[in-house]
Amino acid sequence: MSNQFGDLNIAVLLPCYNEEAAIAQVVLDFRRVLPGTRIYVYDNNSSDNTSEQAARAGATVVPSRRQGKGNVVRQMFADIDADIYIMADGDGTYDVSAAPTLIQTLLDERVDMVVGTRNDVTIDAGRKGHAFGNNLFNKVYQAIFGNDFSDIFSGYRVFTRRFAKSFPAMSPGFEIETEMSVHASSLRLPVKEVGTDYGVRGEGSESKLSTFRDGFRILRMIATLMKETRPFLFFSYLAVGLLGVSMFTATPVLIEYFRTGLVDRMPTWVMSMTMLLASLMVFMAGVILDSVARGRNEQKRIHYLSIAPSRGEQHIHSTPRLRERRGTVKAEGSVKERNEKSARG
């Protein structure tokens, strides 16, 4: 099978932890649908034969010592230089044959990230808790950050170099996909979703997700990202909550005062006024931090724009590819330096 993206520098990134049962087939499938593409398996301290199986199938195996998927993704994006990145899991649940469609969508739609949404995600290896959590967190995400994504937990994604190199990747674990989505939404980056088939794990492959533990981590990450990217909304909710407590405790005291002219429950009144002042302080903190967040978004946007787009321009417009552009820039720099030296001499 010929590679229709032969002019592009494409890297397939597969973070793995104890996936010896499926990783070899995943690597072989990617080699089949994208021949000639570089495939990297980042082994996150597996205790089985994941590395051996991946290497035998033809992948470049890289050890990743800091535990957690987010830590692995941060290392992958820092290590690998490419025009286009494909990230998928090594458990065999994603439809590898959809990879060319995702790449073509990235090129045609001129977007920075394409998410392969999972058509049968409710199956999720038979774990109903995961399906319920997916639906709940997707609705929470849409209510807070917008309707850019309908499957924020999909690990099947295609990125431009500009996205990969501007993404801070602060999450240590499975929250990393949520952080990717928030990064795109907060900077208003062009994104696209494409439906893909999603299967169950094969025999001998077990999910590493814990419904409650990882669900709590994801909820905490959403709250943290909300505080960092939308502080006015975050602190407004807290201010309304404190105001509600203040009103609830102050109402009986006020009723008694208007009826008798006396305030017998002074501690309750003091507490209600304290909650009111706290509400005002929290609200003002949200106003101030909103300005700070806007400044941070501007800086992140400027950093994003400082990176060459590299979205397959040669494939579409016959412009030089990444390596050639860099060689041209270096050559021009050397000529300029020689001319300056000659002028000084």
pLDDT tens, 144-188? 999 999 999 899 999 999 999 999 988 888 889 999 999 999 999
The total of structural domains in the chain comes to 2
158/111 Cα distance (integer angstroms): 10
Provide the pLDDT for residue 6: 72
Provide the pLDDT for residue 262: 87
Q: For residue 58, how many other CB atoms are within 10 A of its CB? A: 12
Identify the band that residue 64 occupies on the pLDDT scale cut at 50, 70 and 90: very high
Provide the pLDDT for residue 319: 45
Range of the domain at 236: 231-305
Report, as an integer, the average pLDDT of 128-147.
82
Q: Are residues 189 and 262 in the same domain?
A: no
Check pLDDT > 70 for residue 312: no
Provide the pLDDT for residue 128: 56
Where do we find the tokens 């990882």?
A: 214
Asked whether residue 340 is domain-assigned, the answer is no
Asked if 145 contacts 222 with a C-beta cutoff of 8 angstroms, the reply is: no
Q: Are residues 276 and 199 in the same domain?
A: no
pLDDT above 90 covers a percentage of the chain that reads 64
Instruction: Name the residue among 153, 164, 163 with its Cα closest to residue 189.
Output: 163
Query: For the chain, what is the mean pLDDT?
Result: 85
Asked whether residue 318 is domain-assigned, the answer is no
Asked whether residue 45 is domain-assigned, the answer is yes
Q: Are residues 241 and 287 in the same domain?
A: yes
Name the domain boundary from 216, 250, 277: 216
Asked whether residue 91 is domain-assigned, the answer is yes
Check pLDDT > 50 for residue 99: yes
Q: Are residues 132 and 250 in the same domain?
A: no
User: Pairing between strand 191-196 and 60-63?
Assistant: unpaired
Q: Are residues 136 and 179 in the same domain?
A: yes
Q: Are residues 74 and 109 in the same domain?
A: yes
Provide the pLDDT for residue 180: 94
Asked whether residue 326 is domain-assigned, the answer is no
Provide the pLDDT for residue 338: 64
Name the domain boundary from 165, 189, 216: 216
Asked whether residue 238 is domain-assigned, the answer is yes
310/164 Cα distance (integer angstroms): 11
Identify the band that residue 233 occupies on the pLDDT scale cut at 50, 70 and 90: very high
Range among 81-90, 116-125, 319-328 with highest mean pLDDT value? 81-90
SS (H, E, C) 80-118: CCCCEEEECCCCCCECHHHHHHHHHHHHHHCCCEEEEEE
Cross-strand partners of 113: 159, 191
Asked whether residue 320 is domain-assigned, the answer is no
Q: Are residues 43 and 114 in the same domain?
A: yes
Provide the pLDDT for residue 181: 94
Four-point Cα dihedral 122, 70, 50, 201, nearest 10? 0
**Secondary structure letter of residue 92 according to DSSP:** S
- What is the length of the chain? 345
Q: Are residues 272 and 134 in the same domain?
A: no
Q: What is the pTM of this model?
A: 0.78
Non-local CB neighbours of 271 within 8 Å, separated by 6+ positions: 249
Identify the band that residue 317 occupies on the pLDDT scale cut at 50, 70 and 90: very low
pLDDT above 70 covers a percentage of the chain that reads 81
Asked whether residue 203 is domain-assigned, the answer is yes
Report, as an integer, the average pLDDT of 190-216.
73
The two structure tokens encoding residue 251: 């109402």
Query: Rg of the Cα trace of the chain?
Result: 26
Q: Are residues 51 and 77 in the same domain?
A: yes
Provide the pLDDT for residue 125: 45
Check pLDDT > 80 for residue 328: no
Provide the pLDDT for residue 126: 46
Provide the pLDDT for residue 239: 97
Report, as an integer, the average pLDDT of 307-333.
56
Provide the pLDDT for residue 221: 84
Name the domain boundary from 216, 240, 267: 216
Q: Are residues 129 and 155 in the same domain?
A: yes
Q: Which residue has the higher pLDDT, 256 or 129?
A: 256
Asked if 125 contacts 201 with a C-beta cutoff of 8 angstroms, the reply is: yes
Provide the pLDDT for residue 172: 87
Q: Are residues 183 and 237 in the same domain?
A: no
Check pLDDT > 70 for residue 209: no
Q: Are residues 262 and 290 in the same domain?
A: yes
Non-local CB neighbours of 97 within 8 Å, separated by 6+ positions: 29, 33
Cross-strand partners of 159: 85, 113
DSSP 189-238: --EEEEEE-B-PPPTT------HHHHHHHHHHHHHHHHHHH-HHHHHHHH
Check pLDDT > 60 for residue 329: no
Cross-strand partners of 60: 40
DSSP 30-80: HHHHSTT-EEEEEE-S-SSSHHHHHHHHTPEEEE--S-SHHHHHHHHHHH-
